[in-house]
Structure 1
Amino acid sequence: MQPTSTQILKINQKQNEKLKGGFNMFKTMKKRIKNEKGLTLIELLAVVVILAIIAAIAIPAIGNIVSKQRDKAVLSDATSIISAAKIAYADGACVDDSCSGAELNTYLDAKLKNKTSIIAAYNNSTGLWSLTWDSDHDFKRITGVDALEAGTAAVPEETILAAMNS
């Protein structure tokens, strides 16, 4: 018995569907994607958690960078003061191997001028300078020398340079 025309048509459709298998699946997926309107609550929560983790890691790291740079700025000011004292000493502006804030004003940049609490002293026996400076920053923590912020301890130039290079 020979197949009828409807049976032949059905057989051809089945063969065509087998050939188009991936295409039909693509159409089905496209319909599903069209029906989605936005993010689910779980997806949104996952994004928020990831951003919170990144912020928890980044914020302390940035705080440490800012603190270290502030310390380096204070040390840079200290080295500038010592450099100004060396120039003032060479020019004869210092009295008794010691330069105070008033004597250093001409040799300091505008940021450090008119600081009366600065005393840079030269030690003839060692050939090194030391600095007594009433700074607004925690100089003890930066250099490891006690009582500098109160202006009672002189910090040797080598200590300042060592802290600057660390």
Structure 2
Amino acid sequence: MRKHLKYLKKEKGMTLVELLAVLVILAIIAAIAIPLISGQIQKSKEQSYINEALNIISAAKLKYAQEGFGKDGKEAAPTYTITSGNNVLSGYIDIKVEKDVTVKLSGNIWSISGHPAVKVVTNDSNGSVTESQLRSKLKE
């Protein structure tokens, strides 16, 4: 037992080679993990844009239903535009936008333009996307 205690007292710490081996292993783990994590962060941002756009469309549908469009000769296809200073869907959704977002009904198809989700779905921020396109992209 005394020999073992003497041996432990002589051992001061790790050698330089052991320390370098640990650092190399940590660097390899970091090199693998960082790209995976950043990819997940980007994917979650894109999904949040799509969910926000779907929520805006849902708010427009609620306003459309409560205002009775399409009944008694009222306008059948409204367009709602949310600007940085004016939220025409206030009371239905609380949102702040950096640029104008427009929700439009054409026939039975709701679409949104000016929202970051448009670029996620179409790679073109100037167009518009339909609710079904948003939902199908969310499932991917």
**Scaled by the length of structure 1, what TM-score is found?**
0.67
| Percent sequence identity over aligned pairs | 34
1:130 corresponding residue in structure 2: 111
Residue 33 of structure 2 aligns with an amino acid whose one-letter code is A
Unaligned residue ranges in structure 2 (runs of 5+)? 70-74
Unaligned residue ranges in structure 1 (runs of 5+)? 1-25
Give the one of 56, 65, 78 matched to 1:97. Answer: 78
Higher RCO structure, 1 or 2 (CA under 8 Å, sep 6+) = 2
Change (3 A) 1:116 1:28: closer
Structure with the higher helix share, 1 or 2: 1
Q: Is the 8 A contact 1:98 1:122 kept in 2?
A: yes
Residue 103 of structure 1 aligns with an amino acid whose one-letter code is V
Q: Which has the larger radius of gyration?
A: 1
Q: 1:106-117 maps to which residues of 2 (within 5 A)?
A: 106-109=91-94, 112-113=95-96, 117=100
Q: SS at 2:88's partner residue?
A: helix
Change (3 A) 1:62 1:82: same
Comparing 113-122 with 52-61, greater Cα deviation is found at 113-122
Residue 162 of structure 1 aligns with an amino acid whose one-letter code is S
Q: After superposition, what is the alpha-carbon deviation per residue over 1:91-127, rounded to whole angstroms, capped at 9, x for unaligned?
A: 2287543222243233112xx2466612111122xx2
2:72 corresponding residue in structure 1: none
Alignment coverage as a number of residue pairs: 130
Q: Is the 8 A contact 1:105 1:113 kept in 2?
A: no
1:32 equivalenced with 2:7 (yes/no): yes
2:21 corresponding residue in structure 1: 46
| CA–CA distance in structure 2, aligned partners of residues 113 and 31 of structure 1 | 70
Q: Is the 8 A contact 2:53 2:115 kept in 1?
A: no
CA RMSD after TM alignment: 2.4
| CA–CA distance in structure 2, aligned partners of residues 122 and 115 of structure 1 | 22
